[in-house]
Structure 1
Amino acid sequence: MDALFQPVQPFQPFRNAPLYWRSTLVPGGDMLTAEYNDHTFAPHWHDAYTFACIVAGAERYAYRGGEHVADAGSIAIIHPGKVHTGARETDFGWRYRVFYLPVGFVQGVQRQLESPLETPGGSASDDDAMPWFGEHVIYDVQAMERLIEAHRLLQIGADPLLAESVLIEAVSMMLVRHAQARVPSLEMHRDAVRVETMKARLSADLTQSLSLTALAEAVDLSPFHAARLFSRETGLAPHAWRNQLRLVRALPALRAGASATDVALAHGFNDLSHFTRYFRRAFGVSPGKWRAARGT
């Protein structure tokens, strides 16, 4: 098994060396085994739960209105749809193993804890709560060990019976020790309603040209105030939020093996270079390399 973590800095800086991969045991999910030295992730989000196990070095990231540092031996949690960044905290960079677990998978493990007849891949219902991790950076040696072991077993294509058992045990441990059902949101205030209206307008047709003036008219605001409100509430300017949504919606087609050029045009990017530039900033690799990630 890999060493759990390396609190002492390496003699040489890490490289920018990401490897995305997949497993049939986590349908719709992605995993990342990587080290980074000077790569900086632009503000972006994932439509999955991110469990990032830092095994060496340290990462600094902006998330939910604050700056956080995840160092060796910690697990950084990012919730689905939440904007965040990523960069090195030390001169050496950082190394980590990351799970991008679909919401339905995590909810399935949660239901499994409550009922022995449930399966982690089961369909989520409207009544299923979104497990919420109150701590952004978690220090839990046992959970860290199980997550890393599950990640390693999935990556090498180990016996599925063993790999899935360790994965479910690891996610269960995280849920039992560190998660709670998220408190239902209160009725949205007027500005929040406006932001949701703008999101709906931005996402209705990702290939359609849309001006800020037209977006603002949908919520009865000036372009200046609409842009400022949207950025304040989401952490991204309207055009950046729309491009991130394009990326997220492009992932299933890429995962299925579609051409990166075809995917780019189908989701509103001008061309492949436009798509690639945004993709690298969010995921650290080109869409072609991400698409080529092997499965186990």
Structure 2
Amino acid sequence: MAARLQNGSKPFLFPDGARFGADNVLLHASARRHRVEEFAGPLSIKTVLRGSVSWLVDGQELVVDPASFLVLGAGEKYSMNIDSERRVETACAFFRDGFVEEAAQDATGQVEDSLEDPQRRAPALPFLSRLHCDAEGVMTGAVEMMAERSAATLFPSGFEEEFLLLSNRLLLLYEQIRNRVARVPAVKASTREELFRRLEKGREFLHGQSGGAVSLEEVARIACLSRYHFHRAFVQVFEQTPHGYLAHLRLSRAHAQLRSGQTVTETWLASGFDSPSAFSRAFRKAYGVTPSAVRRS
């Protein structure tokens, strides 16, 4: 792993001396300059507590901010390059090899299976490795709390338990993903899975375009589908239109930015809305309060 931090920042790794893949590891860092090139680590959750970060995975740029999180599978190579005027803060949870898969196997199997063969190999969890929306900050908040407690060494004896609880959150997410795959309008399983992968590419593309104009044709092209088939399948799988998903994403991101102390004007300029009034109306409709009220709180 090639990593360089500047501006005197030092990443906090917990537990001290832990090894990626062999142990459950938490990495908490804050910097304006940070670079990682072609690192293939264990299954991990990437969260951004302040600012935004682009991870490059398999040629695709995946933008993560406080209203989203990224799950990367074991051995999946990624790169990232933070070059920001403002300090960017990240918190990443790296699971021991097989940790989440074993939890999934035990959660869905019988106790007798574990008694008979406690060392049995757990199957992989397809489709979990993706960029996910986290409008309520559930996953991001959980990882952030772990980072804060780790820095204060408040739970050295309960560290494994915290990772087990975090893996349970991933399993709930995995169940949601399986339900989405089941809603894909295709009869053959192979066709259904391929179509879901393409829809996910389009959805992830929206995360990187939430601050500017984007057309349905452009998103469908990224997904390698016609506009009609992309729109139809997207609505069936995610139960909202691509435009609705994008609007929700923009407002979730704006809400997180306001809570972090960013001004209303700065938030509007980054939101993709045409005017401050349009932004304020949409925000109030979604959250029941004005953007300025969130910032004051």
TM-score w.r.t. length of structure 2: 0.47
TM-score w.r.t. length of structure 1: 0.47
User: Greater relative contact order (Cα 8 A, min sep 6): structure 1 or 2?
Assistant: 1
Greater helix fraction, Structure 1 or Structure 2: 2
